[in-house]
A and B are shown apart, each in its own frame.
Chain A
């Protein structure tokens, strides 16, 4: 697909078009919109067209960057266009984004695109379960996964048993290579520890933490730690059990949306109770690391918090990666994250 891309210089009232073909809009119309943006003090403007494409305009200082693409790439290209204005990326990256449009994307590609991972991150990500594994159990599975640095300390994993499935989201201390090393150790231990279906979730988690602690002590990693969230689902009856050590769970049903929190200190004291809930088809589960709730808003003054996240998910009729990303990106604007961010979205 040929698409329009370029920028408008608001002082000189001139264009620089790197790609100048659009089915939807003429150069004259672009100019009128740019003049309107300047006159009305608009920061960002998106036109969505009936043919499934969009044009996004973003203004900063004396430039208005605009880029056209298909709606499936809206968030990706909006981000790229905004960053380009800040001088953080080269223009070719927008071109690369547009090129993605010309290739056929699979649903897995859209769930989480790992084409830009470097080698360190690839090694770590190879231990992650693919979303296809989740989709064998759940009617839908998507993930918002944004490491502070790649590789990061967050991970997600699923183990399927004959009639049950165990889902784990983990958040290891630190981020970058340090966090990744810990998360790889935790994932390896998890795979060994939960080879067969645990008889008691509470006792298995307590034992798991005891083993993890001794492993870290032996490896001089005692300063490092991990927060985990476990969901065990009966694949036939849809009865769910949840226990964790700081990775919290939001359950959205047709009647209500509720948050269930756990604490590491209760696991250490062996006091953490297990939550058991009957679920129905269409109910949604959200396991998330604290990087999500610790995100500051676009003014960099207020944290999202667990209540903010709960409200965000409550407001959306049916949460998808696309509509969550839209809401979440609007909340945070260009404020940088402080930690790895993972939100696993599972639909029964």
Chain B
């Protein structure tokens, strides 16, 4: 239920902060990259650079990961990390608010 609510929040955040990209939430059972299964306990963030795409995956809660995807022609790693930190803060403040 809470994950569903956060998925709606991430869609709103996508429009606001990453209009030319894609934002998705994943739990530990549905990780977007298979190698993360092995190392998910120790990892805090993964940055992937392809020829025309940047992917940033960040652990925002013990078993929840937030993934940002953006075209290199629109974004760079620094901007995406900045967007990630904004979304992380928004999600955390919503989580605190929701638990009250």
Q: Which residues of A contact B (CB under 8 A)?
A: 24-25, 28-29, 32-33, 36, 40-51, 298, 312, 315-317, 323-324, 326-328, 330-331
Q: Residue B34 at the A interface, CB < 8 A?
A: yes
Stretch of B6-14, B20-28, B38-46, B91-99 lying at the A interface: B38-46
Interchain CB contact under 8 A, A41 and B42: no
New A-B contacts (19) at CB < 8 Å, excluding given A48-B43, A323-B78: A25-B42, A32-B34, A32-B38, A36-B35, A44-B49, A45-B49, A48-B45, A49-B42, A49-B43, A50-B42, A50-B44, A312-B78, A315-B82, A317-B85, A324-B78, A326-B77, A326-B78, A326-B81, A330-B77
Interchain CB contact under 8 A, A42 and B49: yes
Interchain CB contact under 8 A, B51 and A49: no
From B42, B48, B82, contact of A45 by CB (8 A): B48
CB-nearest residue of chain A to B36: A47
Query: 7 closest Cβ contacts across the A-B interface?
Result: A327-B78, A330-B76, A44-B49, A48-B45, A46-B47, A330-B77, A326-B78
Q: Which residues of B contact A (CB under 8 A)?
A: 33-35, 38-39, 42-51, 72, 76-79, 81-82, 85-86
Interchain CB contact under 8 A, B48 and A42: yes
Interchain CB contact under 8 A, B42 and A51: yes
Interchain CB contact under 8 A, A323 and B81: yes
User: Smallest Cβ distance from A135 to chain B, in angstroms?
Assistant: 24
Chain A CB within 10 A, most for which of B35, B72, B81, B86: B35
Main secondary structure of the interface of B (DSSP, over half): mixed
Interchain CB contact under 8 A, A29 and B44: no
User: Smallest Cβ distance from A334 to chain B, in angstroms?
Assistant: 12
Given A25-B39, A41-B51, does the pair A316, B34 have CB atoms closer than 8 Å?
no
Interchain CB contact under 8 A, A40 and B50: yes
CB-nearest residue of chain A to B85: A317
Q: Which residues of B contact A32 (CB under 8 A)?
A: 34-35, 38
Interchain CB contact under 8 A, A36 and B34: yes
- Measured CA separation A24–B34 after assembly (Å): 17
CB-nearest residue of chain B to A44: B49
Given A42-B49, A45-B48, does the pair A327, B39 have CB atoms closer than 8 Å?
no
**26 A-B Cβ contacts within 8 A?**
A24-B39, A28-B38, A29-B38, A33-B35, A36-B33, A36-B35, A41-B50, A42-B49, A43-B51, A44-B48, A44-B49, A45-B48, A46-B45, A47-B39, A47-B45, A49-B43, A315-B82, A316-B78, A316-B82, A317-B85, A323-B81, A324-B78, A326-B77, A326-B78, A327-B78, A331-B76
Interchain CB contact under 8 A, A317 and B82: yes
User: Smallest Cβ distance from A319 to chain B, in angstroms?
Assistant: 10
- Measured CA separation A32–B81 after assembly (Å): 25
Q: Which residues of B contact A317 (CB under 8 A)?
A: 82, 85-86
Q: Which residues of B contact A316 (CB under 8 A)?
A: 78, 82
